[in-house]
Homo-oligomer: A and B are copies of this chain.
Amino acid sequence: MNRLKVAQVGCGYWGQNLIRNFWELESAEVVMACDPDEKARSRMARRYPTVQLARSYAEVLSSPNVEAVVLATPVSTHYEFAKQALLAGKHVLVEKPMTTTSLQAIDLIETAAREGKTLMVDHTFQYTAAVRRMKALIDSGELGELLYFDSVRINLGLVQSDTNVLWDLGPHDFSIMDFLLGQEPVSVSAIGVKHLRTPYENMAYVTAQFDSSLIAHFHLNWLAPVKVRRTLVGGSQKMLVYDDMESSEKVKIYDRGVSQNHDPANRERLLTSYRNGDSLAPNLDTTEAMRLMASEFVNAVQEKRAPLSDGYSGLRVVRLLEAAQRSIQQDGGVVLLSPMIPRPQISRAAVASVA
């Protein structure tokens, strides 16, 4: 099998990580690196002397040598850049969030389908050993009925940028939730705050509700003194804690939950108690998640199949971000989400109506 010829577009912090991982893949060959900033290009020249450098995206699009683009550019460019690449006959891997509106996301999905090209979004966390282990556990049914998903992603990191904390940190948690739960919320509400005359929200609390009594909640914050990345998943039989700041034991599985018995004195009455059992920290493999993600992109292209984090996955996350943003603008009012049309039948009109 020939190595997939890849162009890295955007060589900032994330772009450098992406190119490093594609560079190491046996199945890919990084042939071009594109960035308007001269310093960024000369850094690439030093590290990867054989890679062709491009100042403008047009050079990438017009190069017959490039089979796939990896987009790590500002979010506002994702849609245009991805669309142009697909139309130029190139496969696309794009940083999260995939686009800034769900309409754009749908258009990319449809364009990729029409052009017969692969569209994938870099939801890196789906590829971590921790999240994959939790996914296996949840899918096995061991947790029992799912009760809640609670995530805290806070740290000190306010930056002047083109986005708020919801669009910056939210895609991580929304994509993890989407992947793990395999269900879509029926409504979203969110409260956001702009402190100290900053133009964008620097903290947000987001709640998502599901058909059942399952609930999800997110605390996103750029102004926290400590870095916390902790997710709880509560089930009726077992519960999970995922603490990404732990150097080992990132995932713990608690054999704890709720029991219900009929009151022996009164069969009508239900007694609820809790079980407090052992906790288990599975040993996790240490492969870098981004390596797996890069590899999945190349494999999906070569096997002509949908990647794990495909365009629909990107769309579902953007839809949640959009709904949360709308709720923030309505001071926390509940925003309803219509069910997504099943994937094969998905159409622009159908999905446009929902979010």
Copies in the complex: 4
Contact code string A41-81 (vs B, CB < 8 Å = 1, else 0)? 00000111110000000000000000000000000000000
Per the CB 8 Å criterion, the residue count for chain A at the interface is: 70
Cβ-based interface call for A283 (8 A): yes
A281 interfacial contact with B, CB 8 Å: yes
Cβ-closest chain B residue relative to A271:
B160
Q: Mark A119-157, 1 if CB is under 8 A from B, else 0.
A: 000000000000000000000000001011010101011
* Chain A binding surface SS class: strand
Q: A217 and B215 in contact (CB under 8 A), knowing A195-B258, A225-B234?
A: no
Known: A217-B219, A272-B196, A331-B334. A227 touches B247 (CB 8 A): yes
> Which of these, B49, B189, B234, B270, contacts A49 with CB under 8 Å?
B49
Q: Return chain B residues, CB-CB under 8 Å to A241.
A: 225-226
Q: Is the beta-carbon distance between A278 and B282 smaller than 8 angstroms? A: yes
**Does A260 have its Cβ within 8 Å of any Cβ on chain B?**
yes
Q: Are B145 and A196 in touch, CB under 8 angstroms?
A: yes
> Do A332 and B207 have beta carbons less than 8 Å apart?
yes
Q: Which of B24, B240, B247 contacts A247 (CB 8 A)?
A: B247
| Pick from B195, B205, B248, B280: contact of A227, CB under 8 Å | B248
A157 partner residues in chain B, CB cutoff 8 A: 274
When C-beta atoms are compared, the residue in chain B nearest to A270 turns out to be B197
Find the B residue at minimum CB distance from A157.
B274
A interface residues with partner B (beta carbon < 8 Å): 23-24, 46-50, 145, 147-148, 150, 152, 154, 156-158, 160, 189, 191, 193-198, 203, 205, 207, 213, 215, 217, 219, 221, 223-227, 232, 234, 236, 239-241, 245, 247-249, 252, 254-256, 258, 260, 270-274, 276-283, 331-332, 334
